[in-house]
Each structure stands twice: as structure tokens, then as C-alpha cells.
């Protein structure tokens, strides 16, 4: 079983703060790294898929970077808003069809 | 938009009952998956299917079975529910064949086994 870890497990920030969290994954047999956002009572929603070392993706105030050589990805949120409150999941794909998920980072943004 | 639906949002069952969790996707995806999510553990794969009538065990298949009689529908079966199967169950689907293959998730079923 592959080891995918996310830190921190939970995070409380004030509205307007910028924040970031980490996903670490095996650096061998890398295929892709996925980020999902999972809001309470909703379906997990795909944010980014990254495949190349050095990839950076951006969607509004959220961005992500990828380092496949050292096995980590960062997710950044600039100027957090209450609607950013969610659990952020990363998932690692190797040469197979399967995703291995991290435990998630639960973000709470206080107004 | 891809839509994945699950038959129930909340279920309460008794130990020993047979439980069916249904999942339907409307995008003609070949792959379908069942996960469970427990606090601090992330999503763990129970079973997946890459075609009608095909199934493969995931990381934690014990105590579960699945059925895929039609492409759009993937059922998870708990033959005899136990309290350690209390969890959030998520279904997902995807179209295979690319590096960026994305799984699309249903809203989850929260199962409580008493």
C-alpha cells in the first residue's frame, strides 16, 4: 500500500489570510497527482491534475505546485474566504489505474 | 456535467442485516469505484470495476461484495453488516485512458450500523 500523507490534518485561519498545505507521495513510478476539494454535504470536486515535475496550476485564488523528484505538492489559497472551508484531498496515481488518497487537510476559514 | 448519484445520503442498519448501496453515473464511464472514508484515514478503495460484470478487489474488500450488471450502475453489498462498517461510503466513476483521468464522485452515503 502506497503512503500518501497530507499535513496539517486541520487548519483554522481568519478570512483574508493566505494559507498552504502539503501532500507528500512516493517519488518513484509517478504518473499524476490530483487535488480535490470536498465541501460538507457535497461531492468531492476535482481541482487540479498535475503530471510533470515543476507543474503549477491555478484556479482563481487557489494554486498548486508539484515536485515529483522529492515527492511533494503544495496547495496555496490566497486571501482565504469562508466558502473555501472544506477538506482538501490529494491523490497519487502510479502506472496503474488506481488513486491512493491522503488523509486530507480540513480547512476552516473564520469570517 | 458528469453526475454520480448514490441511492441514500444516510442509512441506519442493524448488525447482521444485508445492506445495498447503489450508485449510478450518467456519463457512460467504464470505470466505477467504491471507497470508504473514515476520519484521518482518507479514502480507501473497497472494490472497482472496469466493465460490466467485471470487478476487482481494492485495498479493503473484506466483508463487501459488488455487482455491476449495467454499465451505469455499481452496487456495493454488505452481506452481514457489522459495527466496524459504520462509515462514509463514496462512489466514483471515470473514463480510463489518459494521464489526467479524473474520478467523479457521488455525494456519499453515511452508514450507521447499530
User: How far is it, in rounded angstroms, from Cα B66 to Cα A79?
Assistant: 44
What φ, ψ does residue B64 adopt, rounded to 5°? -130, 155
Closest CA to B104 of A62, A110, A4, A46: A46
Query: Cell digits for B51?
Result: 466493465
| pLDDT averages per 10-residue partition of chain A, 111 residues | 89 96 91 94 94 94 96 97 96 84 95 93
Q: Are residues B99 and A34, on separate chains, in Cβ contact within 8 Å?
A: no
pLDDT of residue A38: 95
For residue B100, the chain A residues in CB contact (below 8 A) are 32, 49, 51
Q: Are residues A101 and B50, on separate chains, in Cβ contact within 8 Å?
A: no
Tens-digit pLDDT profile for residues B63-75 = 999 999 999 999 9
The residue in chain A having the minimum alpha-carbon distance to the alpha carbon of residue B100 is A49
Q: Are residues A101 and B58, on separate chains, in Cβ contact within 8 Å?
A: no
Q: How is B12-44 classified by DSSP, letter by letter?
A: EE-TT--EEEEEEESS--SEEEEEEEETTTEEE
pLDDT of residue B1: 67
Q: Are residues A44 and B45, on separate chains, in Cβ contact within 8 Å?
A: no
pLDDT of residue B39: 84
User: Which residues of chain B are modeled with pLDDT < 50?
Assistant: none
In chain B, % of residues over pLDDT 90: 85
For residue B102, the chain A residues in CB contact (below 8 A) are 34, 46, 49
Closest CA to A105 of A19, A5, A38, A8: A8
Amino acid at each position: 500500500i502506497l503512503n500518501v500523507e497530507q499535513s496539517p490534518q486541520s487548519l483554522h485561519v481568519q478570512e483574508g489570510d493566505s494559507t498552504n498545505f502539503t501532500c507528500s507521495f512516493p517519488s518513484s513510478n509517478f504518473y499524476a497527482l490530483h487535488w480535490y476539494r470536498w465541501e460538507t454535504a457535497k461531492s468531492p470536486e476535482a481541482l487540479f491534475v498535475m503530471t510533470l515535475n515543476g507543474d503549477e496550476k491555478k484556479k482563481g485564488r487557489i494554486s498548486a505546485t508539484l515536485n515529483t523528484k522529492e515527492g511533494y505538492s503544495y496547495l496555496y489559497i490566497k486571501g482565504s474566504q469562508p466558502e473555501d472551508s472544506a477538506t482538501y484531498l490529494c491523490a497519487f496515481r502510479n502506472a496503474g489505474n488506481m488513486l491512493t488518497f491522503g488523509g486530507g487537510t480540513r480547512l476552516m476559514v473564520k469570517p | 456535467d458528469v453526475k454520480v448519484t448514490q441511492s441514500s445520503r444516510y442509512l441506519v442498519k442493524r448488525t447482521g442485516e444485508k445492506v445495498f448501496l447503489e450508485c449510478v453515473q450518467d456519463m457512460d464511464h467504464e470505470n466505477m469505484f467504491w471507497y470508504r472514508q473514515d476520519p484521518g484515514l482518507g479514502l480507501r478503495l473497497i472494490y472497482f470495476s472496469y466493465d460490466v460484470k467485471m470487478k476487482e478487489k481494492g485495498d479493503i474488500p473484506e466483508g463487501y461484495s459488488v455487482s455491476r450488471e449495467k454499465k451505469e450502475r455499481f452496487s456495493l453489498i454488505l452481506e452481514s453488516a457489522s459495527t466496524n462498517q459504520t462509515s462514509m461510503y463514496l462512489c466514483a466513476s471515470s473514463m480510463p485512458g489518459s494521464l489526467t483521468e479524473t474520478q467523479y464522485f457521488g455525494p456519499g452515503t453515511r452508514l450507521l450500523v447499530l
